[in-house]
Amino acid sequence: MRTTLSIDDDVAKLVEHEVRRSGDSFKGTVNRLLRLGLTAARQPKPRKRFVVTPIALNSGLGTRYQKVEDLIEALDGPMHR
């Protein structure tokens, strides 16, 4: 396919630099870089793994809590609702 494309000056300099570095043609370099960019845009970014670190409910609190409500009240006070 033949088309006319306007390229920003800074992008044109980067492409010309890549043409000189790779020794490939301008057309080949642009096609390769477009393929790389379009392929990378489709791939989802890896997410940071969410890790939950459990703690014992009785550690440092001095009392064992059987109900979550009792623990929340001990930590946040009676107006936690």
pTM equals 0.51
Q: Residue 61: which residues within 8 A CB-CB, separation 6 or more?
A: 71, 74
Q: pLDDT tens digits for 21-30?
A: 999 999 999 9
Q: pLDDT tens digits for 61-75?
A: 555 667 777 777 778
70: nearest Cα among 55, 58, 54: 58
Query: In 3-state terms, what secondary structure has residue 32?
Result: helix
Q: pLDDT tens digits for 12-61?
A: 999 999 999 999 999 999 999 999 999 988 878 888 999 988 876 555 55
Q: Per this entry, what is the length of the chain?
A: 81
- Given this model, what pLDDT does residue 9 score? 96
